[in-house]
Chains A and B, each alone.
Chain A
Amino acid sequence: MTASNTAPPMIRMESVDKFFGPLHVLKDITLQVPKGQVVVVLGPSGSGKSTLCRTINRLEPIDTGLIEVDGRPLPAEGKELANLRAEVGMVFQSFNLFAHKTILENVTLAPVKVRKLPVAEARKTAMELLERVGITNQADKYPAQLSGGQQQRAAIARALAMRPKVMLFDEPTSALDPEMVQEVLDVMTTLAGEGMTMLVVTHEMGFARKAANRVIFMSDGEVVEDSTPDEFFTAPKSGRAKDFLGKILTH
């Protein structure tokens, strides 16, 4: 983490506020994620985790403050923003695979349309990625024909196809049947091991302990705790975190 003093952090949020109408969902968030770090975001439902995630690639615009990705402030809506989003991978809770395209087409679409890669080359890379997430045999099927776990792995492959600098995961396993959770977490753990910068909203404590460098605990739109997984799980400082852990761990 000493290296981060010279290079700009991958994600920098400075006094970010976000409102939905009268609702103050992000309150004065200041946060840096250095390159290569894996950050898990925890917190009760409605605390603003998804919103935090979505502001980083400007799927949600913020009201005040500053967000930089790899040293560049987020541009306004337009071509430049599209370029930035291409470098920030995002994985959704509900997969959001393009329903009218095959798995292979899902993975090659953006490289061809945005990066202007030749189709053959995009297909080759896509097949390698599908191999990495273990679903090469599903390449020509449509999303609806796949299990949830397979769909989510395809969605990860789709994001990776753009060779992103950073990956955002918003509860990637929450919509999955329990027996499929692990196959997705395995892919994510491998990715973390390869040095990808990741911001992961999840309730999977096992993943947090094993793969994360850092845990951020949010409550009511605020960052309440920011520590290592070990520290957080063994000795949470705030009452709200203790409360939260108590509820989670009884499951």
Chain B
Amino acid sequence: MRLRALTAGAVTAVLALSMAACGSSDSGSANPSVDAGAQFEAGTTMAKLKTAGKIKIGTKFDQPLFGLKGLDGKPAGFDVEVAKLVAAKLGLSADKIEWVESQSKFREEYIEQGKVDLVVATYTINDKRKERVSFAGPYYQAGQDLMVKKDSTVDGPEALKAANAKVCSVTGSTPAEKIKEYVDPSNIVLFDVYSKCADALRTGQVQAVTTDNVILLGLIDASKGEFKLVGKPFTTEPYGIGIKKGDTKFCQFIDDTLKAADSNGDYAKAWKDTAGKVAPEAPKLPELSACS
């Protein structure tokens, strides 16, 4: 019986995810209008990309709502839509984009080695990373939060210690490091992917899952009401667009693109078509940091 429940649970999770992916790729494929007449100063990254007629973009393939590869083989989500906006401004339509799966640990390597031209992959801007790459944006402000069972009384990270609660996150992630400030390391459980954390939460092996709120939203969406978001972010995670270190002109170009998209409604639409299905309230474009 239990085993059947497990299988059924897994199957529904997979179905839910793939349906979400299909759903968003359907409506999300109302691609932004391509700026065919775009002109760029010779020698810039923008000019090179426009001449090449194609662009390689790194994104997550396993991140519901932000970058999740669907059954059609194409990633879909908010990150993907933002990337399409940038490409469109370069005069490149969505079919000129080569999507490269970029797991967290390989993002800097990919940018440095030129395996991708830019990375839009729930990529938190921080000083350590800025030593190796440059960031445009931020285009979104996430925050680390907690996901708990529907009936849980945990109301923030401070409550975890008191409850001697076990918290789950992903090996090597920033949230996994951050949560050490709130709970004893022996109470931190780490997996390679968040879906395992969700399973551990369901079976009572852990009492909370922590990571960026937007990632948790995807899991909550898949849980069919079993989990809830605590809703008190305790960090700010500005998501940036990673590019080659020191490419200020490209950074500026991306920032301008973001601003334009914000004012013409493309930015809000990108959200509405993707993450907006779970969190309807569209975010405001955060204040952009200076390019360096």
Q: Do chains A and B touch in the complex (CB under 8 A)?
A: no
Residues of B at under 8 Å CB distance from A? none
Residues of A at under 8 Å CB distance from B? none
